[in-house]
Each structure stands twice: as structure tokens, then as C-alpha cells.
Amino acid sequence: MIPSHAPFDPNQRTIISALIPTLTPEQKAWLSGFLAASQGGAVAAPAAASKPLTVLYGTESGNCESLADKVAKEAKKKGFKVAMKNLADISVKDILKFEHVALIVSTWGDGEPPEGAVSFHKEFMTADLDLKGLKFSVLALGDTSYDKFCQTGKDFDTRLAALGAERIADRVDCDVDFDDAYGTWKESLFAALGTTASAAAPAIDLEGFAPTVEYGRKNPFPAEVLDNQLINGEGSAKETIHLELDLEGSGLGYEAGDALAVVPVNSDGVVTAFLAASGLSGTEQVEVKGEDMCDLKEALTYKLDITGLSRAVAKKYFALSKSDELGEIVSDKNKSEFKNWSWGREVVDLLELFPVQKLGAQALVSVLRKLPPRLYSIASSPKAHPGEVHLTVAAVRYEGHGKARKGVASCYIADEAKSGEKVQVYVHKNKNFRLPVDTDKPVIMVGPGTGIAPFRAFIEERGETSAKGDTWLFFGDQRYTYDFLYQLELQDHLKSGALTKLDVAFSRDQPEKVYVQNKMHEQGEEIYKWLEAGAYFYVCGDAERMAKDVNTALIDIVAKHGGKSADDAAAYIDALKKDKRYQRDVY
């Protein structure tokens, strides 16, 4: 009912939980309006004469977009004249028109901006603008396990100031678990903008009216596993799991293209080894920021990332261990070396290599970041599988420094999420990965490995909507016989017409490596024809190499078969992006 982390004590929780189900929708609406009014209305001051606020965002996974949306809504309530803009949709000069800017942007991979914000970022960093008079604040999203943490946010923050804009609230950098940091930033932003006060009337936001129990990021839904099926054949070097979850009763809805966040659980074996290395028993009471006290073992199992060894974690641990060797490793001069050193290592290796005498449980907890949920591209169309959601998950297992290592979430799914078990999930919208609304449009999808996931959803969707447009899938993996994910389903889709064309690349079936981009080249003429006919082009999967190679291949194809110069081909691809005809879901 009321999620355990909601700010109520158990007694309040019981009372509220008992009350809510008895309320009619009208009563709920009245109550929510009443409560909202009693909060803001008491100090009602005249509305600021509609101060303009532009919320700019650059988004990859949709997190920045949803935070932008949140801050925009709140600003509206406070009486601002709010405009919300995606960096992908504006030009650098547009920024001259703004007075107050709240910029929310994430960082990907090796310090790169989100796909849609790349060209804006590039131009802005070199643009010669006078931004005197502009007031701004930046919220940067990132992941501390990457070296260039929040780099894009930092870039914008520095550049805005350099061009003369006034930073009215300090930039806040958020880790994967961004709620608290967002809250802090938002408060200081609004404080700086002036307590312009809310609109005269308390908003009764019926539009956003919530069901009795709202499942979501704050309150994941415990979905029952309907099926957990290995979909590589015996003899494969890969381990890909097709997971089917029951969403019945969750109120969670999704569209083909969305992602599902899975809240993982650290495995018993990993927790036990971690405890053994720490010299702690696990029964020590600890507090994880923002949560109730619990014993250490519970915190290590459910709440903390006890494997990911980022430089940030190593530095914090160095503060405890004070080992000279570790100091050397985390020193700034060895920053670039750290990645090599940490490859194949986990936090437990820190505990073992640089033991701390009488390590305190709370001190240990303070080193660790919160266990982040993992996003998986949804592999099902809700129209084809009502009440269910499917995932395609590659179990990550490897050996590092003599130890068997495993991906936290993927192996949790592979090993623990068996039929009948429950997995905590919520839907993560990805508005930037959608089939064309016009079902007559052709689509080309490139999804090797688990990159096939959203395309299984797309193809199902095309089938369910009897889309007239042609659908073309490029799939690839290691070996045809063992790794042709969803082969039988794809055969059926070819027969039904939901899938028109299928090209496959299996890298280990011949002496030379063959990848999807090689198959694209073979079909270059046809691809260009499809693009000219208005095709939408989608890529899903590995960001580091595949997506880049596919992008290069696409530019080459457009150049070759469109008879264009390299620059013109790149411009053609940029135009595709602008038109949202080139969408990527890469990780």
C-alpha cells in the first residue's frame, strides 16, 4: 500500500493504508487538493509577475527529461512562465532569448553528452556569445563508476559562466541514485530565483492523480516471474535469458521502446565473501542514507553496490585504509591508470588487498554507493502480451584476477529470478525510442545480441497494429546455430509479414569476424532506398563499438549510394536525427 520508504512512521502508515482504499475518487481528489493547499496556500503571496524560466534538458535514457518535467511542473505551480526545451531541438543562438535557465543534462560513456545533445554541446563549447544577464543553474546527471563523471554538466556549467552568464545556484552532480541530489538542487534553484510564491490558487492536480498505490521508481512493483528461459542453445558460449514478468495489478503501463528498471539483489555468495573480507559479522546495525536502520548484511544485500569499483569508491576507502599503495593507485597522477587497475576487480578486492584494522560497519557503508537499479530495454509489446513484460538479459560472467565475477543484475536475473519468484521493477519511459506513429513508414532496426530486445517489441507491435510499412531487422551474435536469439519467433514474424526482411551476422561462424555493419554494407543500396522512402532507423545495443560502427557504416552507405560527400552524408544523418528518424538505445 504505502511504500515502506514513504515519510511516515509505521503507525501513520497503517492508518493511511487503511483509509485510502475506502475513499471514492472524489474524496481522494478533494483530499489531495486540500493537502496541497494547506501547504502552499498559507503563505500565499502575489504571484511573481510570471517570471520566465526555461528548463533545458539533454536526455539519453529519459531521466533528465523526467526531472526537467518535474521541475517545470513545480515551477508552473510556483507561478513561473515555464518553457521546457530539449537541447536536441534548439540552436545555440536560441539561448540568447532566455532569461533564466535551468539546465539538466546527463553524461554517457567516456564523458559524452546524450546523443540528442551532441551537436548543441559541440557548437556551444566553441560559440562566441555574450550571455551577460542570463541566470542559470545546472543539474548534472552521471554515474560515479565512470571516470568522467558528470562531464557534460560540468562543461555547460563552466562554459555558461565563461560566456558571462550568472550562476545563481551551484551545479549539483548526481550519481545513479539522483533523487536526493535533485531535491537539493531544486531547493537552491527556487531559492535563488526568488520565492516567487505559488499561483494564487492551490493546484488540484487531477491530471496527475495517482491510483491508490502508485508503483514506480520510488516504489518498485514486485513482479512475479512467469518464465525464465535460456535462449542460447546448448553449446553456446553465451548465456542470454528471456524473462517474462507478470505486471497484472501493478498499474504499470509501457510502450514498445520503453525500458524496465530491475532492482537487483546481491547474491548470497558475493555478500558472504564481502563480509568475510571485511571482518564484520553482518549483524551490525547500520544506516544507509535515507533509509531505516538495518543490519549490515541486509544493507549489503539489498541496498548497497558492493561490487562496482569506481575511483570514487576507492578514494573513499583509501580515506579509511590509508594504505600507501592504494593512495598511489587513486592518486590524481594515476587517474588514467585506474581503469586498467580496477578492471576485473570489485570492492571486495580493496578489502582484501588493503585491509583496515577494526573496520567499522558504518564506515564501510559510507564508502559504498546505493545499489542502483538496472535498466533493460523491454522486449515485449504490451499489445502482444497484455499484463506482461519481457526482457532479454545477457548474464555477465567472467574471471577477473583469479576470481569468478558476475554482473549484479544480470546474474541476479539469470540465477535467482526463477519462475514464481518476485522481482522489483518499474517502468522507465524512453520517449526517444519509438516506432513511427505512421505505421506505413518503413523501419530498419539494428540490434545485435541483447540489442534485439526492443526490436522484438517493435516487431510484435508492428504485427499487432497490422502496420503496412516494411520492417527490416539486422541481428548478429557469435554463432548461428546457438545464438540466433528468438529465431523461431522471427521465422513466424517473417511468415506473418510483421517482419519483412532479416539479415544476420554471426561473428564466429567463419575465420573472419562478420558484424551487423558488414551486413549493412552488403545491403547498402537497399538501405539507402529505404531511407529515401522515409524509413526510420533504429540501433540498440553496445554503445562503445557497435553503435559507432553502425553509425559510420550508415554515413558511408549514404555517401556511397546517395552520391554524397562525407560532409553531406553526415548532414543527411544529422537531419535524420533531427527528424527523429534515427533513434538509438545504446548502453
Q: How far is the CB of 262 from another protein (least distance, A)?
A: 21
- In the bound state with another protein, the residue whose beta carbon lies nearer, of 173 and 244, is 244
- In the bound state with another protein, the residue whose beta carbon lies nearer, of 236 and 272, is 236
User: What is the gyration radius of the CA atoms in the chain, in angstroms?
Assistant: 25
What's the rounded Cα separation, in Å, for the pair 325 and 332?
A: 13
Name the binding residues for NADP(+). 507-508, 513-517, 549
CB atoms within 10 A of CB 82: 21
What's the rounded Cα separation, in Å, for the pair 505 and 405?
A: 29
- In the bound state with another protein, the residue whose beta carbon lies nearer, of 311 and 456, is 456
Name the binding residues for FAD. 307, 374-377, 392-394, 398, 407-410, 587
Q: How far is the CB of 380 from another protein (least distance, A)?
A: 13
Q: How far is the CB of 109 from another protein (least distance, A)?
A: 31
HSE at residue 497, side-chain half, CA atoms within 13 A, is: 6
- In the bound state with another protein, the residue whose beta carbon lies nearer, of 1 and 384, is 384
The dihedral sign for the CA sequence 377, 383, 384, 388: positive
Q: Are 516 and 508 in contact (CB under 8 A)?
A: no
Q: How far is the CB of 391 from another protein (least distance, A)?
A: 14
Q: How far is the CB of 415 from another protein (least distance, A)?
A: 18
The dihedral sign for the CA sequence 540, 546, 548, 552: negative
- In the bound state with another protein, the residue whose beta carbon lies nearer, of 176 and 490, is 490
* Region of residue 574 (left: phi > 0; alpha: psi -120 to 50; beta: else): alpha
Burial tier of 18 (Cβ tally within 10 Å: 0-12, 13-18, 19+): exposed
Which string of b and e fits 143-170 if b means at least 16 CB within 10 Å? bbbbeebbbbbbbbbebbeebebebbbe
- In the bound state with another protein, the residue whose beta carbon lies nearer, of 364 and 457, is 457
Q: Output the CA angle 121-372-431, nearest 5 degrees.
A: 50
Name the binding residues. 106-109, 141-150, 307, 374-377, 392-394, 398, 407-410, 507-508, 513-517, 549, 587
Q: How far is the CB of 479 from another protein (least distance, A)?
A: 8
The dihedral sign for the CA sequence 339, 342, 346, 350: negative
In 3-state terms, what secondary structure has residue 268? helix
Q: How far is the CB of 393 from another protein (least distance, A)?
A: 14
- In the bound state with another protein, the residue whose beta carbon lies nearer, of 138 and 225, is 225
- In the bound state with another protein, the residue whose beta carbon lies nearer, of 341 and 482, is 482
Q: How far is the CB of 533 from another protein (least distance, A)?
A: 22
- In the bound state with another protein, the residue whose beta carbon lies nearer, of 193 and 391, is 391
Name the binding residues for FMN. 106-109, 141-150
Residues 6+ apart with CB under 8 A from 403: none
Q: How far is the CB of 242 from another protein (least distance, A)?
A: 7
Q: How far is the CB of 485 from another protein (least distance, A)?
A: 7
Helix (H), strand (E) at residue 537:
strand 536-541
What's the rounded Cα separation, in Å, for the pair 260 and 390?
A: 9
- In the bound state with another protein, the residue whose beta carbon lies nearer, of 9 and 234, is 234
CB atoms within 10 A of CB 141: 29
Query: In the structure grid, which three cell numbers stand for residue 320, read together?
Result: 579509511
Please give the backbone phi and psi of residue 393, each rounded to the nearest 5 degrees, phi first: -125, 125
Binding interface with another protein (CB under 8 A):
229-235, 242, 480-482, 484-491, 494, 502-504, 506, 509-511
Long-range contacts of 71-75 (CB under 8 A, 24+ apart): 71/102, 71/104, 71/186, 71/189, 73/208, 74/186, 74/190, 75/102, 75/190
Give the residues across from 443 on adjacent strands: 471, 536
* Region of residue 464 (left: phi > 0; alpha: psi -120 to 50; beta: else): alpha
